[in-house]
A and B are shown apart, each in its own frame.
Chain A
Amino acid sequence: MTLIPETETALAEAIRETKTPLAVRGGGTRQIGPAVGELLSVKAMSGISTYEPGALTLVAAAGTPIEEIDAALAVDHQQLSFEPMDARKLLGSKGLPTIGGAVAANISGPRRIQAGACRDSVLGVRFVDGTGAVVKNGGRVMKNVTGYDLVKLMAGSYGTLGVLTEVAIKVLPATASRASIEIAGLSDHDAVRAMAKAVGSPFDLTGAAHLPHGANGVPTTVLRIEGLDASVSYRAEKLVELAQGFGDTTLERDPEKVADTWRAIRDVEPFSEILGDVWRLSVRPSQAPDIAARAAGQVIYDWAGGLIWVLVPEGTDLRARLGQFGGYATLVRASPETKSNLGVFHPEPGPLAAIATGLRDKFDPNHILNPGLMG
């Protein structure tokens, strides 16, 4: 049976009455760990309640499909700045990605390096904790230091501290114009150096990725700029100059083509058709090539090297292969057995794990919300 509460009050009641585990669901398109217990879907709590283009803010129920939000924002030439990945192709999942799911998993796309993560765009939340209490935190304004920031804590907590019912999001003007600068044939090391130079330039990149097996198997480094038309032209010219110091450079100005390229990077499309486990590594960019080499799998670099997607044969213990490194590895796609053997989330040092456990015990004392998912 699946619980599908239609209101926050009904959800709170359901949680108060439940003694057994609940598997919390948004759209169910990016299931990260095994679903333990009865399914609890927030999809019936849906809809945009406030959208103020002049204030760059939108408030929506957690179950609102992202495509509905995208469509509403498009009318006023605005967008979600954090560019959330659509995981359906990579994970072979169905359904509609929801805003609540994206926030619960803190999903951020290529624009992370410039516009911040999903958690940086969330201004406020409402949620029901494991005791059935309805809690609000933050608000719908951009600057707010009134009390503790539970908004950040809820973003990326995968429903383990509470079930999100509503989120307030900071949105940004949609980019009027965009361009990609592509450099062909770079080694991973050179690509990361080129990306560091580019994102360290004054030209305000909104994407820097490297595909060691790009089109026709040729390594391709892609830089993206967005903004007003004349500004994009100016920066494109400057970046082409900069990129030519590294290798053969081409400039793409066709907005559709640029959008397609970055959608594919965002959604890790190259790995969607290939069997194997997919890991997501967050690393210090300059260390990325060495870490990728140790991973000994197929890789895609995003975030100027700060994010590495790794494809390895099923069951590979990538963390054992990598050893110690500054950052972490999350197992995104694998069989339930592998996920249960290796653990989805990177093991945390003892003191941090104790704090995290303490927080879960406080917010979900009966251990009913996605129990065991994050530790």
Chain B
Amino acid sequence: MCEIGYIFLPKGGFEVQMPEPRSGVLTRKAEIVRRLRAVLPPDAVIDDTAETRAYECDALTAYRCPPLAAVLPSSTEEVAAVLRICHEEGVPVVPRGAGTSLAGGALPTEDCVILGLMRMNDVLEIDLDDRIVRVEAGRTNLSVSGAVEGDDFFYAPDPSSQLACAIGGNIAMNSGGAHCLKYGVTTNNLLGVKMVTMTGEIVEIGGAHLDASGLDLLGVICGSEGQLGVVTEATLRILRKPEGARPVLIAYSSNEVAGACVSDIIKAGVLPVAIEFMDRPCIRACEAFAQAGYPDCEALLIVEVEGSEAEIEEQLGLILQIARAHNPLELREATSEDEAKRIWLGRKSAFGAMGQINDYMCLDGTIPVSELPLVLRRIEELSAQYGLEVANVFHAGDGNMHPLILFDANTPGQLETCEELGAEILKLCVEVGGCLTGEHGVGVEKRDLMGFQYTPVDLEAQMRIKDVFDPQWLLNPAKVFPLDASAPRRAGAV
């Protein structure tokens, strides 16, 4: 949910291990580009080294590498033509939506072709009776909702990069957002895709009907980080907008109490659309940056409910009753649109605020909600142990943490310390029954931490899927799986 990359470094990047270029690809660049030009319009193939720089990284800006070439197809057929050529030439392909991945999902290798989908952004079909839209994969998340907004419908998953991020990237990363507690993530709102396999075959999976007839291939494609095929069209479920929504702000004197309040709200049978949590370091930074008027306290909750006026009253009544039982320092119910905006103001500017005062690393682990107090306490201890401040802002309702580790990139050694602390926090998330990443994806960023969560057998089972869809491991091959685990496959030995 960070607006800025995982590591916000004012300058330069650092090393991440990437595979050796495929043999002969670099030397055959001219021939490969010539073949790509033969199937695409002139302006859709970029191979000039000055211009390929535009594709050298995504929102994980710490890692950069210009690709061999970038292509910008305008149709599924063009995507198929590109993939056929790359398959024949043995060239790795890295699909790219809008390049907003915080995990390096669209990070190139020097031997790869970046397949950018931004020219494919049409709305192909809107059907309010069947509550679906069908769009091309390069369309931005927010403009999907925009296409049906006039009819009071919306597309539910709302990653905070929604203004820029593409649906194709959302599908690759199974993106979430602030409202998942009620509406689910991308996979729960995706009904069908048109996809091109690495061999250039066009397949349609799912459609305007619900659920799969055979194996749920759609379910495994969503979240596969562009490693199984290139999605060019998506059929998405849209929902009617609720009549209204209202947030309430609750301040507590400790993280434990706020965590207990979250748990009690969920237990009580109310299902808010969002429960956001901020701790003191985060509150202070936001307040300094946005002057939202937040109380000075240890922990803040923003709880939002939806419905008609009467329904909002009923739900908030229950929530406030629970909140009061935990002796809040302050309870602030929005009584106007303006007040609602002010409640959200600080939260929405959290990452920007952090970027103002520090370099930071944004983590994305998820934990069982019941472990919130314990995990926050452990993070505090780890923070003291490593000597780096950690600010917490996250989706408490679904346990998706976003600890921000603050550091100074100009102080030698701090980046390394920060990385170590980050790994410790993610380990902690896994230990308490959670996971490494809740919505950003693995990419290259958490690729080498996969062993924390999965055994070699677990990873083997996942890699088998890729073996079936992409036997030569040409699609985005250096992501998700630790390089040593995927090496035999990338070398064609499996």
| Bitwise interface map of B from 203 to 235 toward A, beta carbon under 8 Å scored 1, else 0 | 111011111111111111011100000000000
CA distance A57 to B197 in the complex (A): 36
Given contacts A137-B462, A139-B435, A143-B176, contact A174 B269 (CB under 8 A): yes
Check A54–B446 contact: CB distance below 8 A.
Answer: no
- Nearest CB on B from A375, distance (A): 7
| Bitwise interface map of A from 72 to 105 toward B, beta carbon under 8 Å scored 1, else 0 | 0000110000000000000000000000000000
Check A352–B203 contact: CB distance below 8 A.
Answer: yes
| Bitwise interface map of B from 455 to 489 toward A, beta carbon under 8 Å scored 1, else 0 | 10111111011111100000000001000000000
Closest to B185 in A: A143
| Bitwise interface map of A from 129 to 153 toward B, beta carbon under 8 Å scored 1, else 0 | 1000111110111111111111111
Q: List 9 A-B contacts (CB under 8 A).
A: A55-B369, A139-B433, A141-B368, A146-B453, A176-B269, A201-B240, A231-B310, A286-B130, A326-B207
- Nearest CB on B from A280, distance (A): 10
Q: Which residues of A pack against B, CB within 8 Å?
A: 52-57, 76-77, 106, 108, 112-113, 116-117, 119-120, 129, 133-137, 139-153, 155-157, 160-161, 172-174, 176, 193, 196, 199-202, 204, 228-231, 234-235, 282-286, 303, 306-307, 326-328, 330, 345-346, 348-349, 351-353, 355-356, 358-359, 362-363, 374-375
In the complex, which of the residues A135, A352, A363 contacts B457, with contact meaning CB atoms closer than 8 Å? A135
Number of A-B residue pairs at CB separation under 8 A: 272
- Nearest CB on A from B266, distance (A): 6
Check B367–A141 contact: CB distance below 8 A.
Answer: yes
Given contacts A55-B368, A143-B176, A152-B187, contact A231 B215 (CB under 8 A): no
Q: Assuming A129-B461, A143-B366, A173-B268, what are 6 further A-B pairs, CB within 8 angstroms? A: A145-B185, A200-B128, A228-B311, A307-B210, A352-B214, A355-B469
Check B173–A282 contact: CB distance below 8 A.
Answer: no
CA distance A358 to B465 in the complex (A): 9
- Nearest CB on A from B14, distance (A): 23
Check A152–B398 contact: CB distance below 8 A.
Answer: no
Check A54–B434 contact: CB distance below 8 A.
Answer: no
For residues 320 through 334 of chain B, which have their beta carbon under 8 Å from a beta carbon of chain A? none
A351 neighbours in B (Cβ, 8 Å):
197, 201, 203
**Is B174 located at the chain interface by the 8 A CB criterion?**
yes
Q: Which residues of B pack against A, CB within 8 Å?
A: 127-131, 152-153, 173-174, 176, 180-181, 184-185, 187-188, 197, 201, 203-205, 207-220, 222-224, 240-243, 262-264, 266-271, 307-308, 310-311, 314-315, 318, 366-370, 395, 398-400, 433-442, 446, 450, 453-455, 457-462, 464-469, 480
B442 neighbours in A (Cβ, 8 Å):
145-147
- Nearest CB on A from B442, distance (A): 6
Q: Give the residue among A116, A129, A355 with the most B Cβ atoms within 10 A.
A: A355
A55 neighbours in B (Cβ, 8 Å):
263, 266, 368-370, 399
CA distance A140 to B368 in the complex (A): 7
Closest to B268 in A: A173
In the complex, which of the residues A53, A117, A359 contacts B215, with contact meaning CB atoms closer than 8 Å? A359
- Nearest CB on A from B104, distance (A): 14
Q: Which are the 5 A-B pairs with shortest beta-carbon distances?
A: A152-B219, A54-B263, A328-B213, A173-B269, A143-B438
CA distance A345 to B211 in the complex (A): 13
CA distance A234 to B216 in the complex (A): 38
Closest to B213 in A: A328
Check A145–B464 contact: CB distance below 8 A.
Answer: no
Closest to A50 in B: B433
In the complex, which of the residues B214, B455, B457 contacts A346, with contact meaning CB atoms closer than 8 Å? B214
B128 neighbours in A (Cβ, 8 Å):
196, 200
Check B310–A234 contact: CB distance below 8 A.
Answer: yes
CA distance A283 to B209 in the complex (A): 5
